[in-house]
Amino acid sequence: METFQIIQDGDDYLLPVYNRQKIVIMRGEGTHVYDSERMVYLDFFSGIAVNGLGQAHPKVVEAIIDEVQKLGHVSNYYYNEPNVKLAKLLCDVSFAKKVFFCNSGTEAVEAAIKLARKCFRRQGQDKYEIVSFHNSFHGRTFGSLSATGQVKYQEGLDPLLPGIKFATFNNIDSVKKQITDKTAAILIEPIQCESGIRPADPAFMTELKALTQEKGIFLILDEVQTGMARTGKMWAYQYYGIEPDMMTSAKALGGGLPMGALLVTNQAAQGFKPGDHASTFGGNPIVSAASIATIETILVKDLAAHAAKEGEYLKLALMDIQKENQKLFTEVRGKGLLLGMEMTRKAASLVSHCAQQGLLVGSANENVLRFSPPLIITQSDIDQALGKLRKAIAEELKTA
Ligand SMILES: Cc1ncc(COP(=O)(O)O)c(C=O)c1O
C-alpha cells in the first residue's frame, strides 16, 4: 500500500485517540527503524520505553519462533513451562516471592489495588483507601485511571472509583495527612514518567517505606516504565535501599509483546485465593518466552550497568544542549535511559522536527521532551542522535 493510503485509511478506520506522526514504520533492526518512504530513524523512544533490546533482537525473535511452533495459548487452567520459569526468574531478580501475569501496565495496577483491598478484607479489616500522588500516571482502566493524579485523563469519565486520595509527590507531610484508618496502600511511581520524568527524592522514599511499615499498610511501586533496567538498575526501587510490598511491571517486560505483571511479597500474596482475580491471556507461553529471553539478555550483557553508563553520557550532553539553548530548555531530569528535557513551550513541534531529522523521541506532559532509547544503545548512536537533535533545535528556533 502507498504511504498516503495507509495514513488515510488509518485516519478513516482507527478511533482518533492518538495524535500520530504522519510516518508509517515498516521494520526495525536494533536501534533503528525504517519507514515506508525508506527513511531511517534512530529510535530514542522505543515504542514508549517498550523495546528494551531494540527491534528484532535475535534472542527474542528466536524465543518467539521456537515457542510459537510448540504452543500458542493454553489459558491459566494449566501450567505452561515458560510462564513458570518467568515467574521464578522475576522473583530471582527482585524482592518478590509471587507473580500475577496480565497484559498491560494498567491491568497490573488494577491487580495491585484489588490485592491490597482483598488482603485487608480477608483479615476482616475495612481498609480500602489507596493514597496516590498528584501528577501521577497509572493507566487508563477505571481503577488505574482513578489513581492517576491528572484531571485531564479523567474529564468526562466520572464517576471514578471511590476510595482514592492524592498527596503531593516528594512531600511526606502531605502523605501523612491523607492516611486514615481506612488506608490500605500507598501507590507511587519511583519516577513520575508521563507527567515529565520527575524522580522521587531518596529521603522521601525512605520516609514513605517507614510510614507504610508503621501503619501496617502496603507500599505499591508502579515500575511499569522504570523497571527492566531502564533507569540503570533492574528496578528503580534498588536506587533507594528499600523494598516494596507490591510492584507493577509491563512495557519492556514482554520483549515487545504485550505483558504486565504484579510482583508481590509472600505476605501480600495471601490476599488472593483461586477465583479472586484472573486474566485469559496473562502469562501466555509465547509472551513469557519473549520475556525470559529479554531478561536473560539484560542479565548476561549487564544492560542495567550499560544503561546507567550511556544514560549518564546522554544526560550530560543534554545538559550542555540545555545550557546552550536556555530559550528553549529549563532542565534535564531522569535516571539511566529515561530522561526528560523540560521546555519553555510545548514539545510537539520539536518532536516533529526531530523525526524530520531521523530521530524518534517522545514528549511527556506536553512540555517535556522525552528520551527512552533501547538499552542496547551505543555511544556512537547517542552522538548521532545529538547531532540530529541539534539540527532539529535549529529548525525549532526558526519558529516563534
Ligand atoms: C507508570 C505507568 N503505569 C501504568 C501505565 C499504563 O500502562 P499500559 O499503557 O500498558 O496500560 C503506564 C503507561 O505509560 C505508566 O507509565
Q: pLDDT (tens digit, 9 = 90+) per residue, 358-378?
A: 999 999 999 999 999 999 999
Residue 203 confidence (pLDDT)? 98
CA distances from 308 to 57, 65, 311, 337, 338 (A): 21, 31, 5, 7, 10
Query: Which residue's CA is minimally distant from atom 8 of ligand 1?
Result: 105
Measured CA to CA, the distance from residue 389 to residue 64 in angstroms comes to 35
DSSP of 82-103, one letter per residue? HHHHHHHHHHHTSS-SEEEEES
Q: pLDDT (tens digit, 9 = 90+) per residue, 120-150?
A: 999 999 999 999 999 999 999 999 999 999 9
State in Å: Cα 225 to ligand 1 middle.
Answer: 7
**Nearest ligand 1 atom to alpha carbon 109:** 4
What percent of the chain is modeled with pLDDT above 70?
100
How would residue 293 be classed by pLDDT, with cut points 50, 70 and 90? very high
How would residue 288 be classed by pLDDT, with cut points 50, 70 and 90? very high
For residue 164, what is its C-alpha cell?
A: 482514592
| 3-state SS assignment for residue 264 | strand
What percent of the chain is modeled with pLDDT above 90?
100
Beta carbons of 105 and 139 less than 8 angstroms apart? yes
For residue 33, what is its C-alpha cell?
A: 527503524
How would residue 399 be classed by pLDDT, with cut points 50, 70 and 90? confident
State in Å: Cα 51 to ligand 1 middle.
Answer: 14
Q: What is the dihedral of CA 200, 239, 257, 41, to 10 degrees?
A: 80
Give the CATH number of domain 71-300: 3.40.640.10
Whether 400 shows a pLDDT value over 70: the answer reads: no
Whether 214 shows a pLDDT value over 70: the answer reads: yes
Which of these, 131, 147, 111, lies nearest to 262 by C-alpha position? 111
Query: Residue 354 belongs to what H/E stretch?
Result: helix 348-356
State in Å: Cα 48 to ligand 1 middle.
Answer: 9
For residue 152, what is its C-alpha cell?
A: 485531564
Measured CA to CA, the distance from residue 187 to residue 376 in angstroms comes to 30
State in Å: Cα 146 to ligand 1 middle.
Answer: 13
Beta carbons of 158 and 191 less than 8 angstroms apart? no
What is the crossing angle of helices 81-92 and 285-300, to 10°? 40
How would residue 154 be classed by pLDDT, with cut points 50, 70 and 90? very high
Pocket of ligand 1 (CB under 6 A): 104-106, 109, 137-139, 189, 193-194, 222, 224-225, 250
State in Å: Cα 187 to ligand 1 middle.
Answer: 13
Q: pLDDT (tens digit, 9 = 90+) per residue, 28-86?
A: 999 999 999 999 999 999 999 999 999 999 999 999 999 999 999 999 999 999 999 99
State in Å: Cα 26 to ligand 1 middle.
Answer: 25
Q: Side-chain half-sphere of 148: how many Cα atoms within 13 Å?
A: 24
Whether 340 shows a pLDDT value over 90: the answer reads: yes
**Nearest ligand 1 atom to alpha carbon 107:** 11
Domain boundaries along the sequence of the chain: 3-57+303-398, 71-300
State in Å: Cα 68 to ligand 1 middle.
Answer: 27
Top mutation candidate among 138, 195, 249 for ligand 1, by most atoms within 8 Å of CB: 138
Measured CA to CA, the distance from residue 51 to residue 93 in angstroms comes to 19
Residue 146 confidence (pLDDT)? 98
pTM: 0.98
**Nearest ligand 1 atom to alpha carbon 139:** 6
Superfamily (CATH H level) for 3-57+303-398: Aspartate Aminotransferase, domain 1 (3.90.1150.10)
Dihedral angle sign, alpha carbons of residues 132, 87, 258, 365: positive
Measured CA to CA, the distance from residue 123 to residue 67 in angstroms comes to 41
Top mutation candidate among 109, 189, 251 for ligand 1, by most atoms within 8 Å of CB: 251
State in Å: Cα 220 to ligand 1 middle.
Answer: 14
Mean pLDDT taken over the chain: 98
Whether 289 shows a pLDDT value over 80: the answer reads: yes
DSSP state of 400: -
Top mutation candidate among 48, 50, 102, 106 for ligand 1, by most atoms within 8 Å of CB: 106
Query: Which residue's CA is minimally distant from atom 3 of ligand 1?
Result: 138
**Nearest ligand 1 atom to alpha carbon 223:** 1
Residue 239 confidence (pLDDT)? 98
DSSP state of 55: B
**Block residue for cell numbers 482518533:** 16
State in Å: Cα 193 to ligand 1 middle.
Answer: 9
Q: What is the largest CA-CA distance in the chain?
A: 64
DSSP of 187-249, one letter per residue? EE-SEE-TTT-EEPPHHHHHHHHHHHHHHT-EEEEE-TTTTTTTTSSSSGGGGTT---SEEEE
